[in-house]
Every structure is written in C-alpha cells, then in structure tokens.
Structure 1
Amino acid sequence: MTQQFAGKTALVTGGGSGIGRASALALAAEGALVTVAGRTAETLKETVRLIEAAGGSARHVVADMTDEAQIERAVKAATADTGRLDIALNNAGYDGEYQLTKDYSTDMLDHMLALNVRGVFLSMKYELQYMVAQGSGAIVNMSSGAALVGVPGFSGYTATKAAEVAMTKSSALEVAPQGIRINAVCPGLVETPMIADMPAEDRKAFGAAHPLGRIARPEEIADAVVWLASDKSSFVTGIALPVDGGYSVP
C-alpha cells in the first residue's frame, strides 16, 4: 500500500458490513484513521478489529444516520483527534423490498427517504462544516446503479438514490471553489450475505444481468471509493461513477 492517506481522518457511515466495511478497510490500509458509524455496535467493532489486525487505526461510534443529532455526533467523533475531516464516505442506506408502485409501502418509502436522502444530506451538512473551514476534503456518496436506470419494483429506491446523485452534483458545485470534491459511486449488484444465500439459479440470473457476467465484490466498490477520495482523482468532482459491470450502459 502507498499510505497515501497517512495522517488523514476518514468517516465511513454504514461501516459495519458490505461496501462500508470493505471501504473502511481500504482507507485504513492507505493510512487513514477511520471512524466507522452505524446502528449496530457488534458489526462496527468487528470492522475496527479487522482494521487493527491489519495494522491500521480505527474506532467506532454508534449512530442512527436518520437522526440529525446523532449524525452531528458521528462527524464530531471522526474529528476528535485532529479537528479535521479529510474523507467522508456516506454509505448508510436502505434498499427495501420488491414492490410495485401501486402497492408500495408508505412506511418503507418514508424510511428510504429518511436514510438515503435526509441522512446523506445531513451527513454532508456537518462534514462540509469542517471541510470548508479547513479548505480541503473529499466526500463520496454511495448511490446505486439503480439511480441511472429504471428498475421495476424498486421505484422508491431508485428515486432516493437518484436524489443522492442530484445532491452530490449541487453540493459539489457549491464547494468546488474551496478545493473540496464531492462525488458519488453507483454500484451494480454486490456480493452480500443476502446474495450468498440466494439459490444458485437466482445468483446466476443476477450475474447475467451485468454485461461482465457476474456480481461485484465489495472490495471492487471500495477501490472506486479510495480513488475518488485520493489525489489521483484531484480533477474529478460532481460525478456519478458507475461501478456496475456495464449494467447501466444504454
């Protein structure tokens, strides 16, 4: 590893599993002090353990990323050592279940809006207060390939993930003069415990829906996060980067 983030602080929401955990591990491997935030202490502690076992530095903070006060507390925890926040990955999200629009659960939609839209918006609000004050920083919002195409049965989810892209673009333009970059990553289907438990024929069908013929590994999405957080993407801001095996190609 290059240790390109040595001396930098990073916050990863939804850092207890999946893409969040893989990204936290990848950022720590490059030298960042990583704070992982989320609702479940046990999974967050496991992420910290894995980072420390690999020689990195991390801590966890339990926070509901739909609650403004808890979001602010998580951001403050990430800045506790240096007063800085260099990197933020807003990854906490909820995808819900397959439901046609005419049958869509209002409660499910409300939870998606609270976490995927309001939670990401408030996370950026508090993260940017530090970044603007210090005159630098990189934010990555975890959207979805579903934000870029239509997905029957997931209209609420696609709407909230498209909102993340819109917030990313608008906020990126606001803070570009301060040297702060904000981008979004739009993954396709990613290997998770839920996917692993699917029947083999369903997994095969999901893989075939991606032109590269397979489902992504969380580490592949984490690689995109690291790139967007790094100086190697220093002239990139306001984009929605598909990392989806070609799924969203027209």
Structure 2
Amino acid sequence: MTQQFAGRTAFVTGGGSGIGRATALALAAEGAMVTIAGRTRATLEETVRLVQANGGAARHVVADVSDESAIEAAIQAAIGDTGRLDIAVNNAGYDGEYQLTADYSTEMLDTMIAINIRGVFLSMKYELKQMTAQGFGAVVNMSSGAGLVGVAGFSGYTATKAAEISMTKSSALEVAALGIRVNALCPGLVETPMIATMDPATEPMKSLVAAHPIGRIAQPAEIADAVVWLCSDKAGFITGVALPIDGGYTVP
C-alpha cells in the first residue's frame, strides 16, 4: 500500500459490515485513522479488530444516522484531537424487500427515508460544516445503480437512492470552490449481508444478477477501491459525479 492517507482522518457510516467494513479496511490500509459508525456494537467492534489485525488504526461509535444529535457526536469523535476531517463516506443504508408499489409498506418506506435520505443529509450537514471550516475534504455518498434507473419492486429504494444523488450534486456545487469534493458511487448488486438475506432462487433476484453484463455481482472490496480513489489526490478534479460501479448494469 502507498499509505497515501497517512496522518488523515476518515469517517465511515454503516461500517460494521459489507461495503462499509471493506471501506474502513481499505482506508486504514492507506494510513487513515478511521472512525466507523453504526447501530450494532458487535459488528463495529469486529471491523475495528480486523483493521487493527491488518496494522491499521480504527475506532467505533454506536450511532443511528437518522438521529441528528447522535450523528453529530459521532462526527465529533472522528475529528477527535486532530481538529480535522479529511474523508467522509456515508455508506449506511436500507434496501427493504421486494414489494410492488401498490402493495408497498409505508413503514418500510419511512425507514428508507430516515436512513437513506435523512441519514445522508444529516451526515453531510456536520461533515461539511467541519470541512468548510478547515478548507479541505472529500465526501463519498454510497448511492446505487438503482438510483439511476427504475427497478420493479423497489420503487421506494430507487427513490431514496436518486435523492442521495441529488443531494450529492447540490452539495458539491456549494463547496467546490472551498477545496471540498462531494461525489456519489452507484454500485450494482454487491455481495453483502443485505443481499444474503434475499433468496437467490426467486425470480426478482435472478433477474437482478442477470442484469449485470459482466456476468457476476461485485465484491465489497471492489467498491471500497473506488472509494479510495475518489478520496485520493488522483481524483482531485472530480466532484459532483454519480459514478456507476456496476458491471454494466446501467449501460442498457
């Protein structure tokens, strides 16, 4: 590893598993001090152990991203004694279950809005407050290829992921001249615990996998590699994009 983030601080929501865990590992491997946030202490602690076992530095904060005071406190913990926040990855998300719009659970939709929209908004609110004060920083919001296209049976999810892209673009315009970059990643299907709960034998799941022209779904580490690049100096002229990392899913 290049240790390109040595001396830098990073904050990752939803860091207890899947893409969030892979991202914490990847950022720490590049030298960043990583603070992960999430709702489940046990999974957060496991991520911290994995980072430390690989020679990296990490700590965890239990926080619900939809709780404004909790997410503000978590970001302050990430800033710590350094007085800076270099990297923020807003990865916490909720995808719900396959349901046609006519049968869609209002409760499920409300949960999606709370986590996918309110959670990203609140996270950026306090991340960008710090980054604006210091005059630098990079934010990556974890949207989805589903935010770029329609997906039958997931109308609530696609709506919230499209909203994340809109928030990314608007925020990027606000802070572009201040030395801060804000981008979104739009993964296709990724092998995460969320996906593991879906029955691969069902027609919706089969069709989702088949929709990836590359012939497979992604591994979390592949998405984490894209996060590292977007947060690096090599992507210094990139802001306001919604970058598909989807094996061709959004091409047709």
TM-score band by shorter chain is over 0.9
Decide which of 239, 244, 247 is 1:245's aligned counterpart.
247
In structure 2, the residue matched to 1:75 is 75
1:207 is displaced (CA, Å) by 3.0
Q: Displacement of 1:177 after TM fit?
A: 0.6
Q: CA deviation at 1:204?
A: 6.1
Instruction: Give 2:168's aligned amino acid.
Output: T
- Deviation at 1:205? 5.1
Is the Cα–Cα contact under 8 Å of residues 17 and 193 in structure 2 kept in the other structure? Answer: no
| Residue of structure 2 in register with 1:13 after alignment | 13
1:212 maps to: 214
Find the counterpart in structure 1 of residue 37 from structure 2.
37
**What is the DSSP-based 3-state SS (H/G/I as helix, E as strand, rest coil) of the residue aligned with 1:36?**
strand
Counterpart amino acid of residue 151 in structure 1 = V
Quote the residue 2:237 is aligned against.
Answer: 235
Q: What per-residue deviation string (whole Å, max 9, x for no partner) do you get for residues 42-89 of structure 1?
A: 000000000000000000000011100001011000001301000000
Structure 2 CA distance for partners of 1:155 and 1:205, relative to 1, 3 Å:
closer
- For 2:80, what is the secondary structure of its paired residue? coil
Q: Per the alignment, in what secondary structure is the counterpart of residue 239 of structure 2?
A: coil
Extract unaligned runs of 5+ from structure 1: none
Distance 1:122 1:172 in 2: 15
Aligned-partner residue type, residue 118 of structure 1: R
TM value normalised by structure 1: 0.97
Give yes or no for contact 2:14–2:93 (8 Å, CA) kept in 1.
yes
- The separation in 2 between residues aligned to 1:70 and 1:200, in whole angstroms, is 36
Conserved 8 A contact 2:13-2:37: yes
Using the size of structure 2 for normalisation, the TM-score is 0.96
Aligned match of 1:129: 129
Matched residue count: 250
Query: What corresponds to 1:52 in structure 2?
Result: 52
Secondary structure in 2 matching 1:81: helix
For residue 149 of structure 1, what is the amino acid of its counterpart? V
Q: Write out per-residue CA displacement over residues 177-198 of structure 1, whole angstroms, 9 at most, x where no aligned residue.
A: 1010000000000012454566
Matched-pair identity in %? 76
Q: CA deviation at 1:201?
A: 4.9
Cα gap change, 1:238 to 1:91, in 2 (>3 Å) = same
- Please state whether the residue corresponding to 1:79 is helix, strand or coil: helix
Alignment check: 8 A CA contact 1:206 1:214 kept:
no
